[in-house]
Chain A
Amino acid sequence: MNVINNQSNKIELFKYLEGVFSDLEQQKIALDKSAIVAITNTKGDITYINDKFCEISKYNEQELIGRNHRIVNSGFHPPEFFIALWKTISAGNIWQGEIKNRAKDGSYYWVSTTIVPYLDDKQKPYQYVSIRFDITKQKQQEEDLKNRTQQLEDFCFIISHNLRSPLSNLLILTSMLEASETFEDQKLLISKLSKPINTLNETFSELVESLQVKRDLQIEKEELSFEACLLDVMQMLSLDLMETEFELTHDFNNTTSITYPKKYLVSYMHNLLSNAFRYRSPDRKLTIKISSYTSNEKTYLKVSDNGLGIDMKNHGSKLFGLRKTFHGHPDAKGFGLFITKTQIETLGGKITAESEFGKGTTFYIQF
């Protein structure tokens, strides 16, 4: 009797366990299909990864097993970030957060991460299971939105500032005109009107031009050769600029062409080259170097000159502002770079500059 009972108990238990295993198996499949999973030992060395982990990190299983999880560290987070993470999980607590990682090919990805410590019977962690979800796209959108808001805010201040200066001059001038009693004096005041009015008019045209690109987004992109574009631009540059002696070298061998709206590429090159000519140093022959290259799957154009340069410490943040000039140069109007920046950013790129006062300037356009 006892034996039979024992036997049927075992069968029951076996059936029960079989059910549990099957459930676990199903849950693992569900998890592997949806999440990026890794298991590490207490030192952070990887002991298990699923296919999704390989897919996003672009490493294969052999390259990851036994390696420390730091292999995907992007360097984006400060050391304190990971110290706090380790403190949490080594105390047996669950850690949750967003991490930027780096894949084998150098590209970055963001993951919403939960790390669960598995505890032994003394409540000490013996391994860590991390479950992540790819949030790269959301992060990108968040970033874009932030940039866009920043851009709009800057734009608002720029408009208010640049329209306000001439406008406030006009306000005072007209009130003076109203109070003025002699014809001579009125004539003098009237002669002062044209300058702020012209400034207003120019500022307005520039703003319209820089906004135009936002409507132009559907403009056709075409395969453009950097060299052909440069030749076009050289022909467009006004003759008086070109009268100076200069040496222009270019190297487009790394990346010969780009798919981009022609009008804008020409405009960027034109503005950067005109700037190089306009702000050349009187002490030395102007040399300009243009090159293109690809990094992180993005195309860059680099334009450097040996001109006057800008004091980046004092002016760096305002370099791309509207109507900013730095040299007191007579024909500087200071809107070329503002428009260039707006156009590049609207088309999803970035422009940055490095410069040293008295040495020269280098611009980088990331398309």
Chain B
Amino acid sequence: MTTVESLYLIDDDDTFQFLAQRTIAETKVVKLIKIFSNGKEAIDFLGYAIDNFEQLPEVIFLDLSMPIMDGWGFLENFLLLKPKIGKKIFIYILSSSINPTDIERAQAINDVTDYVVKPITKDKFLALIKSL
């Protein structure tokens, strides 16, 4: 089974942070999980970790609706950083929005691997990671 060295979870809902962390830990395929409460925290960290291959994630789980900088803002800024990032990063949007406008918009962005509607069960997590 694929193992993931490092995964970023970007979501402002602390209950979801707890649940996701626990579910991901149970799958035993992810070594390190880093949690950010909004897009800006994650972008700032990425900017700082850019030359540090170990610190960069292989997978990002991204929420859409967040304060300060939402998921779209994160993606916009990520695209600017991307040329300088020497690692393939898979971005999954995990959102509770079923608005087709959101889904279409996400699908139009090349760097978004998939759009997953919450709730995310353990099986869904496993399936996501296996599909990498």
Contacts and interface: CB of A to CB of B under 8 A. Distances in A.
Interface string B8-40: 000011111011001100000000000001100
B22 A327 contact: no
B113 interface: no
Contacts, number: 62
Interface of B: 12-16, 18-19, 22-23, 37-38, 65, 67-70, 72-73, 96-99, 118-121
Contacts of B119: 167-169, 171-172
Interface stretch (A3-11, A158-166, A253-261): A158-166
A136 interface: no
A160 B23 contact: no
A192 interface: yes
B121 A161 contact: no
B40 to A, nearest CB: 9
Contact of B98 (A164, A172, A196): A164
Nearest to A329: B67
6 contacts: A161-B96, A164-B118, A172-B121, A173-B15, A327-B68, A328-B12
B121 A175 contact: yes
Closest 5 CB pairs of A and B: A168-B119, A164-B96, A328-B67, A168-B118, A165-B96
A327 B67 contact: yes
B70 A173 contact: no
A192 B99 contact: no
Given A172-B19, A327-B67, 11 more contacts: A157-B98, A161-B98, A165-B16, A165-B96, A165-B118, A171-B119, A172-B23, A173-B19, A314-B72, A326-B67, A328-B12
Nearest to B68: A328
B12 to A, nearest CB: 8
Measured as residues with beta carbon below 8 angstroms from the partner, the interface class of chain A is 20 to 34
B72 A161 contact: no
A249 B34 CA distance: 48
B63 to A, nearest CB: 9
A169 B16 contact: yes
Contacts of A332: 67
A168 B124 CA distance: 13
A350 to B, nearest CB: 22
A164 B99 CA distance: 12
Contacts of B15: 166, 169, 173, 192, 195-196
B97 A157 contact: yes
A324 interface: yes
A157 B121 CA distance: 22
Interface string A171-192: 1110110000000000000001
Of the candidates A167, A195, A314, A329, the one having the most CB atoms from chain B within 10 angstroms of its own CB is A314
A41 interface: no
A165 B15 CA distance: 10
A314 B69 contact: yes
A192 B98 CA distance: 25
Given A161-B97, A161-B98, A314-B73, A176 B19 contact: yes
B58 to A, nearest CB: 24
B96 A168 contact: yes
